[in-house]
Amino acid sequence: MTPSHYIDGRWAEGQGNDCIVVHDPASGQPFTELMAASSTQVDQAVAAARRALPAWKTTCAADRARYLRGFAEQLGVRREALIALQMRNNGKPRHEAEIDLDDAIATFAYYAELAEQLPAKNRDVPLAAPGFTARTRLEAIGVVGMIVPWNFPLVTSAWKLAPALAAGCTVVLKPSEVTPVVELAYGQIAEQLGLPAGVLNIVNGKADTGAALSGHTGLDKLSFTGSNGVGSQVMRAAAAQCRPVTLELGGKSAIVVFDDCDIDQAVEWIVAGITWNAGQMCSATSRLLVQDGIADALLARLQAALGQLRVGNPQLEEADMGPLTSQAQWLKVASYFAVAREEGLKCLAGGQTLDREGWFVSPTLYVDVPQSSRLWCEEIFGPVLCARRFGSEAEAIALANDSRFGLVATVCSTDLQRAERVADALEVGHVWINSVQAVFVETSWGGTKASGVGRELGPWGLAGYQSVKHVTQCLG
Ligand code: NAD
């Protein structure tokens, strides 16, 4: 077995009890396996990060920026291997794997720039009171435990690692047991760049490894991306120690299509919003709200477009959509197809698993879905779209906001004043107007309501790893 844990600047084999079997979802066959980290190894990783903290947080920001640029560059050097690995382990079509890699590269480059600007942010504070001076210091929050999911392994980790390292934090990262090999690239790059030992540690494992990390008393912050169920456990672990936490959780996002839109263009955005990464996106726009005037025409074109999508093994054939990434996810999506049948939902496309090897399902469209339906309310995390019609703008806003989640939304309308008005009224963290889900490192990522706590990306992502200190002096 290859060493799959990077602790204190060295590679180690797992000493835990669990064997993690890594699969190719397009065939359902295993392609490698590794032993999970033991709780002692989690302790070692946290202790290494703690030892590395004093030197790393006082390293001049320009030097930290150089390492971050090194990460961006080295991801580029490993381009082909990382694209192939994501295609194999996640089932991503090539163009999606490329975009993920480019996103990770852009994230490290962006936070290198923010790190360079850090000294200028430590500035004097003008005081109204005479006889005093005050200055601000933005300091690293400390040792951060990071737990991430499997759907965008390079990206979710980059969104945490880059700002944390820029801020001067040291980290212990736990990737998902579904995709434990992709993020090992970050350890290999750290080793190649000569990043000081302990600054970046990676421990692989399942839920118990995650729990050992989130409950560890040696951390100063937890940053978690994943499901709401596990997110609330992580939040409880943080609460037990009164420790800050960032949570990026689930979604049930709306795409609102007004009858003045370009229907063909809207269909493209709707399809991308539910089939990218086979719908395994926290930001999947899985609730379609379409205005009465164009509903029949749009749903007919959408049905045709979903039917034409090429679903297949991206490693062997041209595919618009690959398999679901894990058998558990495939079974979960299949269980929602069964619920839809029990609920008597009207299915215009898909609604079934594919009768072939691997974990494939067909892109699915249910229409006139009641608000009480489980499929309307719950995050499915697959290519399953539920549609409803609306009459007025107010009704669209009310329907879109009628969710316990609040991650993102898309608005399609050629009336830009209306689109902006609706965007302002939506209770979410990010809205796209007449756009695919383009994510830029300069804008924030994160949700309202049950979709999370805190923000990643942009300066807000950096602030999540900083502690604000003020030094006030009496001039006597
Ligand atoms: P998950 O919650 O099952 O697992 C996430 C991580 O938590 C994994 O590394 C897992 O090993 C670990 N874990 C499991 N049990 C744990 C425990 N008791 N204590 C600590 N860690 C534990 O989620 P998943 O299935 O990997 O990912 C899918 C979910 O992630 C979806 O709900 C999706 O919406 C969400 N997600 C959110 C965002 C966002 O930015 N909001 C991005 C990607 C994914």
| Distance between Cα 225 and ligand 1 center (Å) | 5
Q: Is the CB of 381 under 6 A from ligand 1?
A: yes
Distance 248 CA to ligand 1 centre (A): 9
Cβ of 255: how many Cβ atoms within 10 Å?
27
> What pLDDT is recorded for position 304?
98
Ligand 1 pocket check: which of 34, 150, 182, 230 to mutate, most ligand atoms within 8 Å of Cβ? 230
Contact 390, 399 (CB under 8 A): yes
Q: Whose CA is nearest to atom 13 of ligand 1?
A: 207
- Identify the CATH assignment for 254-440 out of 3.40.309.10, 3.40.50.920, 3.10.180.10, 3.40.50.300: 3.40.309.10
Which residue from 22, 147, 443 has its CB within 8 A of the most atoms of ligand 1, so it is best to mutate?
A: 147
Span 359-392, pLDDT tens digits: 999 999 999 999 999 999 999 999 999 999 999 9
User: 248 an active-site residue?
Assistant: yes
Handedness of CA 233, 234, 235, 236 (dihedral sign): positive
Given a contact cutoff of 8 angstroms between Cβ atoms, the answer to whether 144 and 168 are in contact is: no
For residue 340, list its beta bridge partners.
Answer: none
Out of 96, 183, 248, 456, which one is annotated catalytic? 248
Q: How far is the CA of 211 from the centre of ligand 1 (A)?
A: 12
Assigned CATH topology for domain 5-249+451-474: Aldehyde Dehydrogenase; Chain A, domain 1 (3.40.605)
Ligand 1 in reach of 452 Cβ (< 6 A): yes
Decide: 251 in ligand 1 pocket, CB within 6 A: yes
- Expressed in percent and rounded to 5, the helix, strand and coil fractions of the chain are 45, 20, 35
Does ligand 1 come within 6 angstroms of the Cβ of 147? yes
Q: Which atom of ligand 1 is nearest to the CA of 206?
A: 11
Measuring CA to CA, which residue among 266, 305, 285, 253 is closest to residue 413? 266
**Cα-to-centroid distance, 427 and ligand 1 (Å):** 23
Phi and psi dihedrals of 384, rounded to 5?
-125, 110
Is 282's C-beta closer than 6 angstroms to any atom of ligand 1?
A: yes
* In the predicted structure, residue 1 carries a pLDDT above the cut 60: no
Of ligand 1's atoms, which has the minimum distance to the CA of residue 228?
A: 32
Cα of 415 vs centre of ligand 1, distance in Å, is 38
Q: Do residues 184 and 202 make contact, with C-beta atoms less than 8 angstroms apart?
A: yes
Digit-coded pLDDT (tens) for 14-54: 999 999 999 999 999 999 999 999 999 999 999 999 999 99
Interval 66-104: pLDDT, tens = 999 999 999 999 999 999 999 999 999 999 999 999 999
Indicate the domain borders of the chain.
5-249+451-474, 254-440
Q: Is 145 in the pocket of ligand 1 (CB under 6 A)?
A: no
Q: How far away, in angstroms, is 147 Cα from ligand 1 center? A: 8
Torsion from C-alpha of 55, 247, 183, 330, nearest 10 degrees: 170
- 449: Cβ below 6 Å to ligand 1? no
Report pLDDT for 2. Answer: 66
Query: What pLDDT is recorded for position 77?
Result: 98
Percent of the residues in the chain that have a pLDDT greater than 70, as a whole number: 100
The single-letter DSSP state of residue 456 is B
Q: Does ligand 1 lie within 6 Å of residue 326's CB atom? A: no
Tell me, using a 6 A CB cutoff, whether residue 220 lines ligand 1: no
From the CA of 237, give the closest atom in ligand 1: 19
Q: Do residues 189 and 70 make contact, with C-beta atoms less than 8 angstroms apart?
A: yes
pLDDT of residue 119: 85
Q: Is the pTM of this model over 0.85?
A: yes
CA 378 / ligand 1 centre spacing (Å): 16
Q: What digits encode the pLDDT tens for the residues 135-179?
A: 999 999 999 999 999 999 999 999 999 999 999 999 999 999 999
The whole-angstrom distance between residue 246's C-alpha and the CA centroid of its chain comes to 12
Nearest CA to ligand 1 atom 31: 227
Which pLDDT value is given to residue 121?
84
- C-alpha 124: how far from chain center: 36
End-to-end, the C-alpha distance of the chain in Å comes to: 66
Ligand 1 contact via 383 beta carbon (within 6 Å):
no
For residues 317 and 288, the model is more confident at 288
